[in-house]
Amino acid sequence: MGLSKESTGARAAGTELAIEKKDPGDFVLALAGNPNVGKSTVFNALTNLHQHTGNWPGKTVSNAQGYCQRQGQGYVLVDLPGCYSLLAHSAEEEVARDFLCFGGADAAVVVCDATCLERNLILVLQAMEITPNVVVCVNLLDEAQRKHIEVDLKKLSALLGVPVVGAAARSGRGLEELMAAAGKSARGQSPRKGGVVIPYPPVIEEAVKKLMPPIENLCGEKIDPRWLALKLLDSSGLTLELALEKKLGIRLRAQSQVRQALQGLQAEWERQGVTPESLRDEIAAGAVRRAEEIAAQVVGQGQNGYSQRDQKWDQFLTGQATGFPVMLLLLLGIFWLTITGANYPSGLLSSALFWLGDRLRELCQACLSPPWLTGLLVDGIYRTLAWVVSVMLPPMAIFFPLFTLLEDLGYLPRIAFNLDRCFQSCGACGKQSLTTAMGFGCNAAGVVGCRIIDSPRERLIAMLTNNFVPCNGRLPMLIALITMFFAGAAGGFGGSLLSAVMLLGVILLGIAMTLAASKFLSQTLLKGEPSSFTLELPPYRRPQIGKVILRSVFDRTLFVLGRAAAVAAPAGLIIWLLANITIGDATLLAHCAGFLDPFARLFGLDGVILLAFILGLPANEIVIPLIIMAYTSGGALVELTDLTALRALLVENGWTWLTALCTLLFGLMHWPCSTTCMTIQKESQSLKWTAVAFLLPTVCGLGLCFLVATAARLLGAA
Amino acid sequence: MKPLQNLSRLLPGQSAAVTGLNATGPMRRRLQDIGLVQGTMVKCLGASPLGDPSAYLIRGAVIALRHQDASSVLVDGQAV
């Protein structure tokens, strides 16, 4: 999901981070931490921003920054992507490391999960090796308390030598103390106390001793010399050396003093039989061991975050017999609630909006504006907007919060866990099911989310196939079509349940197509073996229902709707103009639709439907409204207060169940919206792959529609 | 001491101590990042419904590893 103002739409594509201080005296605080420890929650609470939060690792994929003030002092907060280590093996880790190292952060706040402190301390120690100004925020104390885990914060602070603040960011506890400590640290008033951060075995300590003097000569005090020496020993520090060269103009390894020291060391290692690999292992193990030692002294014995209850839930939600049925039932339940819940407000909204439209028309007419202007404003722009709002808003406003609840609970990683085998056999990464799930919210956000996948090949596969799951803009379209043509007749409880079952079927088809397309790609254009990955299954957390509803309505629903409306107004205008400008013996609309018609009929559609899909490129939400507009704009006014009347209109215009089915399939599988295309271009840096992303679902959709339409015609079913 | 085993052989509920890593490159680092170094105790929690991947309790966190990756983590033979 990862869907909010910051991560959806055009802004999804932004990756560069330029610090925006309001005042030169502002301090820059970097928020670092393992994935899924509540960094974004801390960030939001402090900055009053709405960076999307959810209970799964990796949902913050790019740096976000925000601003806050305490006692007249301004702070720029930078929310770094979550990572397990600062040894920089992946793009996110590199971003985090370089920011701590060169980003000009005055202090680093490392957020930890109190229920899993030992693992989190590894990152704390690594951050402390880079910079002395570190504040540790032990978050999720409320969860820890619930699980009877006690953390001795005083002792932790004494052992680490830096300030430690306990917090429960979701309820705002501890945040003021955190800001006070961070402010002090940024002023340089609480630098780390004590000896070396991480002690290493003699072979490494001796090498560091030899490397430090030349490094100190070259870099001075700007960057911790001990840390730089360690990076020289750990050849994965190459990217750092490149960054050093760019930022400070120093080519460390090329300097004669450093080179000589390294050569001397290498000769010695060879004699002793020490391999570079074993050095890297010892450096990595050093942080892990030290974290273990510290955790043993501050966390009670045998207490860990994965409780008996979590384990029972996991046995149920990912169990061999129950995992899949529960997953399907949950999805079905969500769809059923969405469909049932959306029905009534949808009718109500459209009645109200169309009543308002009539008043608008009277007003326009009374003001003696020319009839064409009234038509353009009321029948063109206003009507399209009204359709977008009444058809799209209710399902979105119900689906989003429900999905967010599952997300907050921590269910999404379990879906990834359940489905991984399928993705694995398609040569794809298991995390692709997370990005696929994000696609339900917004495909553009899903594409950005693909950054959590390390292998470039698997990331491309995930990006190219993300569009096979319908985003929230397309979901209401699918619901409307299913309700009108396939389930509506049943009515009542049975009807809505039938709709939900059918919608589930469509979604499963989308997921099956995702897998098939992934398999196709990994056997043709993107050949390769599935790479390794680790997936963390976070503890279940109690969602904050009130907050979820508020946030999902305001951040997601209204935002997405706003975007749709912004596109719908000009598109409505175009449709109205096309329908009202006559050239020769027919309107422009008739010409366009007529031109597309023979082609569209091959696939069970008609010219108007295809035209609506083409005009809907900027936002899929407007496809159905545009179809309605095209059918009604030229002719008499039709009162369309509910889906039954809508169905009658469509049937009048030649729709059969086959037309509906093909529109449904094409709605599921066609080109990504323009925002998604731009995002793919930005993320892949390649026009070729963007073209593939455009063509892949389109060809699949057209192919399937053609098969269905042809089969139905041959069998005489339509 | 029984011969060396790897993590993928652990049955649900069994624990063992890590003796080494067979993985190379980025995966080796990633396994170290989540705390898999010599001596780390790992408990197998169970497999996913389709049999792969499996979930392991590592330093208080639950991490899913594919069979192939788990078999690159060597553990001592004394599963408990």
Residue B57, domain member (yes or no): yes
Please tell me the predicted confidence (pLDDT) of residue A8.
Answer: 38
Chains A, B: CB contacts under 8 A, how many? 135
The confidence score (pLDDT) of residue A56 equals 55
* Torsion over CA: A485, A487, A489, A491 (sign): negative
Cβ of B60 and A304 within 8 Å? yes
Closest among A654, A662, A535, A245 to B58, alpha carbons compared: A535
Which residues touch A366 (CB under 8 Å, ≥6 apart)? none
The strand pair at A73-79 and A64-70 is best described as antiparallel
Q: Is A165 exposed, middle or buried (0-12, 13-18, 19+ CB in 10 A)?
A: buried
Mutation test of the interface with chain B: which of A120, A289, A309, A534, choosing the one with the most B Cβ atoms within 10 A? Answer: A534
Residues of chain A with pLDDT below 50 are 1-16, 636-637
Between CA A401 and CA A392 the distance in angstroms is 15
Tokens at residue A707, please? Answer: 């098969």
Whether residue A304 lies within 8 A of chain B, CB to CB, comes out as yes
Considering CB atoms only, which of B21, B30, B48 is closest to A318?
B48
Q: Is A426 on the interface with B (CB under 8 A)?
A: no
Cβ atoms A528, A711 nearer than 8 A: no
Give the residue from A94, A86, A82, A97 showing the smallest Cα distance to A35. Answer: A82
- Asked whether residue B66 is domain-assigned, the answer is yes
Does A556 contact chain B (CB < 8 Å)?
Answer: no
Task: Measure Cα distances from A260 to A196, A216, A266, A275, A512 in Å.
Answer: 25, 15, 10, 19, 58
User: CB neighbours of A328 closer than 8 A, spacing ≥ 6?
Assistant: A504
A87·B63 Cβ contact <8 A:
no
* CA closest to A304 among chain B residues: B60
Q: Do B62 and A118 touch (CB under 8 A)?
A: no
All residues of chain B having their beta carbon less than 8 Å from the beta carbon of residue A291 are: 35
Residue B5, min C-alpha distance to chain A (Å): 20
CA of residue A183 relative to chain centroid, distance: 31
Strand order in the sheet with A64-70: A64-70, A73-79, A27-33, A107-113, A134-139, A164-166
A85 touches B: beta carbon within 8 Å: yes
Cα-based distances in Å from A570 to A118, A377, A565, A580, A589:
55, 11, 9, 15, 16
A-interface mutation test, from B62, B69, B72, most A Cβ less than 10 A away: B62
Q: Looking at chain A, how many residues does it have?
A: 718
Minimum distance, in Å, between the CA of residue B68 and any CA atom of chain A: 8
Spatial separation of the C-alpha atoms in residues A424 and A81, rounded to whole Å? 26
Per-residue pLDDT, A236? 59
Q: Residues, chain B, total?
A: 80
Can you tell me the distance from the alpha carbon of A673 to that of A666, in angstroms, rounded to the nearest whole number?
13
- By CA distance, what is A321's nearest residue in B? B49
Terminal Cα-to-Cα distance of chain A (whole angstroms): 39
- Beta-carbon separation of A122 and B29 below 8 A: no
In angstroms and rounded to an integer, the radius of gyration of the C-alpha atoms of chain B is: 11
Select from B37, B49, B66 the Cβ nearest to the Cβ of A318. Answer: B49
What is the pLDDT, as a whole number, of residue A641? 60
Residue A386: CB atoms within 10 Å:
23
Query: In this structure, is residue B9 part of a structural domain?
Result: yes
Q: Does A320 touch chain B (CB under 8 A)?
A: yes
Residues 137-166 of A with CB under 8 A from B: none
- Nearest CB among A284, A304, A454 relative to B32 is that of A284
CB contact under 8 Å between B37 and A289, yes or no, is yes
Please check whether residue B80 lies inside any domain of the structure: no
Token pair 């951050």 is at which residue?
A: A127
Chain B interface includes A308 (CB < 8 A): no
Distance in Å, alpha carbon of B45 to nearest chain A alpha carbon:
8
Give the integer Cα–Cα distance in Å for A281 and A87. 12
Widest CA span in chain B: 33
Residues in B closer than 8 angstroms to A319, CB to CB, are: 46, 49
- A315 touching chain B per CB within 8 A: yes
In this prediction, residue A13 carries a pLDDT of 34
Q: What is the pLDDT of residues A663-711, one digit of tens each?
A: 999 999 999 988 889 889 988 889 999 999 999 999 999 999 999 999 9
B62 found inside a domain: yes
CA atoms of A176 and A375, how far apart (whole Å): 57
A418 interfacial to chain B (CB closer than 8 Å):
yes
pLDDT of residue B79: 66
A439-to-A239, A535, B73 alpha-carbon distances in Å = 32, 19, 34
CATH of the domain at B67: 2.30.30.90
The pLDDT assigned to A58 comes to 55
The residue range of the domain holding B34 is: 5-75
* Distance of residue A392 Cα from the nearest chain B Cα, in angstroms: 36
Q: Using CB atoms, which residue from B23, B47, B59 is nearest to A119? A: B59
Interface of chain B toward chain A, CB-CB under 8 angstroms: 21, 23, 26-35, 37-38, 40, 45-53, 55, 57-66, 68-69
Using an 8 Å CB-CB cutoff, list chain A residues near B32. 85, 281, 284-285, 288
Q: Around Cβ A46, how many Cβ atoms within 10 Å? A: 25
Q: Which of A280, A319, A420 sits opposite B53 (nearest CB)?
A: A420
Asked if A288 and B30 come within 8 Å (Cβ–Cβ), the reply is: no
DSSP A112: E
CA–CA–CA angle A184, A190, A195 (5° rounding): 160
Rg (CA), chain A: 29
Q: What is the pLDDT of residue A55?
A: 56
Give residue-wise pLDDT tens across range B17-64: 999 998 887 788 888 888 899 889 999 999 999 998 999 999 888 999
Q: Which residue in the set B26, B49, B63 is minimally distant from A323, CB to CB?
A: B49
Q: Compare CB distances from B48 to A291, A323, A454 and report the shortest one's residue.
A: A323
Each residue's pLDDT tens digit, A239-287:
777 777 777 777 777 788 888 888 888 899 899 888 888 888 899 899 9
List the 111-140 stretch of A: residues with Cβ below 8 A of B: 115-119, 122
What is the distance in angstroms between the Cα of A119 and the nearest Cα belonging to chain B?
A: 6
Contact call for B48 and A289, based on CB within 8 A:
no
| Total tally of structural domains belonging to chain B | 1
Residues of B in contact with A430 (CB under 8 A): 53, 64, 66
Contact state of A534 with B64 under an 8 Å Cβ cutoff: yes
Longest dimension (CA), chain A: 98
* Chain B residue at shortest CA distance from A413: B64
